Amino acid sequence: MKSKLLLTKFIEEILSELNRLSDSDVCKLEEGGYSISLKILKNKAQRESNIEITDSQKDKILKELQLCKTREEGYEILSKYLNSKKEFEAFARFLDISVLKQDKADKIKAKIIESTVGAILRSNAIQGKTT
C-alpha cells in the first residue's frame, strides 16, 4: 500500500512539472527534436537549516574555547555545540575570522581553533608559561 502512495506522489510531481512547461517547450516536444529527462533535486526548504545559534551561545562557546589546554579539546567543544557548516560560518563571523565560500566545515573549524585555542597556546609558549 505504501508503494502505491509513493508512486502516486511521484506521478503527481511529474504532472505538476509538465504543467509548468512553457508553450515553446511543448512545441519543441511536438516537433520531435527534443525529449524529456528527469532529475532528482533536493528541496530548498530541506537544504536550509533554520537553526541559528544565539549570541549568548556564541559567548559560551568562546569562553569554553579560551579555557582549553589543547587544540583537541577545542575540536571537541566545537563538535559538541556546532553541527553544520552554516553554524561554523556564523561562529567564525562572530570571531571576525574570514571564511571563503569554498571553505569546507573542517577548514572553518580549524580556522576557529587556530584563532582561539591556538593563539592562546602560542602566546603561552612565547611567554614561557606552562599549561
pLDDT for res 46: 47
Q: Are 112 and 97 in contact, with CB atoms under 8 Å apart?
A: yes
- The pLDDT of 75-87, averaged and rounded, is 90
Q: Where are the domains of the chain?
A: 2-40, 55-127
Share of the chain above pLDDT 90, in %: 37
pTM of the model: 0.59
- The pLDDT of 103-124, averaged and rounded, is 91
What tens digit of pLDDT does each residue of 22-62 get? 888 888 888 888 888 888 877 765 444 555 788 889 999 99
